[in-house]
Amino acid sequence: MEIPEADWWAAGLYVGGVDEAGRGALAGPVVAAAVILPPGEHPFRDSKTLSPRQRERLEARVRAVALAWGVGVAEAAEVDALGVLRATHTAAGRALQQLALAPQALVTDYLHLRTALPLRAPAKADRDSPTVAAASILAKVTRDRLMAELDAAYPHYGFARHKGYGTADHLEALARHGPCPLHRRSFAPVAQAALFRTQSSDKNDPGLI
């Protein structure tokens, strides 16, 4: 396996890896993370291949060994206003701004950021690049924790279980309760649930003829 940042490491560059979590969810923010690792062997791999316990353990290791790391968030309202791709870029930019060390090159998982830095954005970078894998772990764990906290504020939807993704129980809760402020109303299942609730309310309004 060829590591995308290997030659940059050999040249002595600080390489920032960027990845996101929550881009496809129906509710909650997009969370991006940026990580600069020291050159060498690292145990990090794509967060999607890890169990929650493995992610938690490796997230602590990312924070311990990284030369710098940062997290950026784009809220659901920003996703609706900007579109999910621009909101993802916004979250990534905020994560990069949090780095205590300036990167000299960037690797992302097919996220073509607008930057003056040298950028590599291959598909499956979260599999092949330890730096991007570290960012994927940090973004995923951060977002999962946030959704678990938000579950207490909006207990009808099960955010602690499904983290805002379009599972069957989430869609059922949407149909029953309608969207809450965490939902992305520009996403079709949420928009349909909101429209259904509005139509149902109109039919049940005794003031309507």
Residues 76-102: pLDDT tens digits?
999 999 999 999 999 999 999 999 999
* Confidence at 200, pLDDT banded by 50, 70, 90: low
| Alpha helices per DSSP H over the chain | 6-10, 52-65, 76-82, 84-97, 125-128, 130-153, 159-162, 168-177, 188-204
Binding residues: 19-20, 109
* Confidence at 202, pLDDT banded by 50, 70, 90: very low
Q: What is the mean pLDDT of residues 62-89?
A: 98
**pTM for this entry:** 0.92
Residues 145-173: pLDDT tens digits?
999 999 999 999 999 999 999 999 999 99
Residues 127-145: pLDDT tens digits?
999 999 999 999 999 999 9
Which residues, in sequence order, are CB contacts of 2 under 8 Å at separation 6+?
128
Cα distances (angstroms) measured from residue 90 to each of 50, 85, 104, 171, 191: 26, 9, 20, 28, 23
Binding residues for a divalent metal cation: 19-20, 109
Domain 6-153 has CATH 3.30.420.10: yes
pLDDT (0 to 100) of residue 1: 64
